Amino acid sequence: MAATHRALVLHSTSSPLSLDTLPIPLATPGAVIVKVLGMTIIPYLKDILDGTLPYTITTPMIPGSNCIARIHAVGPDSVSLKEGQLVLCDITVRARDDPNAAILMGMHGGAAPTLMSGEWRHGTYAEYAKFPLENIFPLNEDILFGKLGYKVEDLCSVSNYLVPYGGLSEIDLKPGDTIIVAPATGKFGGGAVGTALAMGANVIACGRNASTLSIMSSVFAETGRLSTYVLTGDVEIDTKALTGLANNGKGADAYIDFSPPTAAKSTHIQACMGALRIKGKACFMGGVAGGVEIKYELVMMKTPTSLPATSSNFLLRSLLTEDGNGCSYTSLVRRMNTNMPKWLIGLILTVTVVSMLAAIFWGCSGSKKHKEPK
């Protein structure tokens, strides 16, 4: 059995990736070693690797993302995972003694630099990768490859839907709700459209690419629950149009955002927020690194008590960190004294929401295919 493998290694943000030969990781207690079959590549990977995005990383580092793999070896404490199993591997690693502290293996140290600099630093851009036991999800190979005829490349797209599902479930999207997805033409925005429709919601997909929206409209035409809108860049026009498309002009129940790093100056966030109904919900899962303008009075008037701004960075959803301690909006609401007068709760949460939105917007948030050896 081979003792070494090849991996793409980032030694410095000022130098390109290098193809290195390294020892295959060992299956220590609580860990699994997988043979990587395929993984996704996020569109803004270059900006992470060259330091354009201020992600917390420790070098040398093997970058990576979620992957489809086969188990190569398991630690001595594994009781159900077996060598050779087809699995989905999640790079979101949470500290076992503090689940509020999380990182993205091979991508972002988040609020847990200790994890990033130690055991779980390296990602999946390699022949083999090491994961925590709890980050491995067995897949039914007979159904996926046999009955359904999927290939490894197809399964790599699972993350496109799992990521937005995290946000959609956090804001408690229900069948019959109307949700705005913007931008809806990217990897996760497009996944959010399909996922929200599968959850029974009515979807308003927004973007600037008319041709892509047209294709999306035809793909999901049979649902009868998808509307598309080409953003004009004029806040007033877009707000009015989006409001008119939702709930007979009463506004949308929810809005989920997947703005890329380049969208910091975009007007669509303000327009979509303005198109929410009273007490609507918003979820931010994009990767804007700078500030984004939202009218203070808009938050005051539209969502005084129920704006669970739950998600900031890709997969680091519902983490708002301060000094390394996570605090989500949802947990804050649960901790509040429910005997307080509603007007007082509304006032407190309004101030909290605005502060949290500002914090979120200062945080950061394709497919590389490997053919399975025959």
Query: What's the rounded Cα separation, in Å, for the pair 116 and 363?
Result: 17
- H/E stretch holding 49 reads helix 45-49
Kindly state the average pLDDT of the residues 30-49: 92
What are phi and psi for residue 266, nearest 5 degrees? -70, 150
Q: What pLDDT score was predicted for residue 199?
A: 96
Is-contact 91 137, C-beta < 8 A? Answer: no
Q: Is 228 in a helix, a strand, or coil?
A: strand
pLDDT attached to residue 187? 87
Could you tell me which residue, 134 or 296, shows the higher pLDDT? 134
Report pTM. 0.70
Question: Amino acid identity, residue 316?
Answer: L
Percent of the residues in the chain that have a pLDDT greater than 90, as a whole number: 60
CA separation for the pair 232, 207 (Å, rounded): 9
User: What's the pLDDT tens digit per position in 117-145?
Assistant: 888 999 999 999 999 999 999 999 999 99
- Domains contained in the chain, CATH given: 4-142 (3.90.180.10), 158-362 (3.40.50.720)
Q: pLDDT higher for 83 or 344? A: 83
The CA radius of gyration of the chain, in Å to the nearest whole number, is 21
Surface-to-core class of residue 128, CB atoms within 10 Å of its CB (0-12 exposed, 13-18 middle, 19+ buried): buried
Phi, psi of 324 (to 5 degrees): 85, 0
pLDDT at 374 over 90: no
Higher pLDDT, 181 or 287: 181
pLDDT tier for residue 369 given thresholds of 50, 70 and 90? very low
Q: Give pLDDT tens digits for 87-113.
A: 999 999 999 999 888 999 999 998 788
Residue 35 has what pLDDT? Answer: 98
Position 289 scores a pLDDT of 67
d(CA 56, CA 35): 26
pLDDT over 70 percentage in the chain:
80
User: At residue 258, does pLDDT exceed 50?
Assistant: yes
Nearest-CA neighbor of 50 among 4, 18, 12? 12
Q: Which amino acid is at 208?
A: R
Distance of alpha carbon 206 from alpha carbon 256, whole angstroms? 11
- In this prediction, residue 99 carries a pLDDT of 86
Alpha-carbon distance of 216 to 194, in angstroms, equals 9
The DSSP H or E segment spanning 163 is helix 158-170
Confidence of residue 330 (pLDDT cuts 50, 70, 90): very low
Looking at residue 53, its pLDDT comes to: 85
Strand, coil or helix: 276:
strand
Map residue 100 onto helix, strand or coil: strand
- Please give the backbone phi and psi of residue 227, each rounded to the nearest 5 degrees, phi first: -115, 145
284 closest CA partner among 229, 226, 365: 365
